[in-house]
Amino acid sequence: MNVVLLGFYYIMLFYKSRYSELVLVFHMKKFLKSLV
């Protein structure tokens, strides 16, 4: 995935709601796993 797109995606999540923090962590773990 494009890094710029990824960053934009996370910013959108952050501004959406408090719940987005959980979503961010979940997607971050998934993203890190795909790198390994």
Q: Please give the chain's pLDDT, 36 residues, in tens.
A: 588 888 888 787 777 766 767 887 888 899 889 887
pTM, entire model? 0.40
Q: How far apart are CA 31 and CA 33, in angstroms?
A: 5
Q: Which two tokens stand for residue 3?
A: 């890094």
Mean residue pLDDT of the chain comes to: 80
Q: How far apart are CA 27 and CA 20, in angstroms?
A: 10
Per-residue pLDDT at 25: 86
Number of domains in the chain: 1
Q: How far apart are CA 16 and CA 13, in angstroms?
A: 5
Domain that holds residue 19: 3-35
Q: Which two tokens stand for residue 20?
A: 């987005």
Per-residue pLDDT at 18: 67
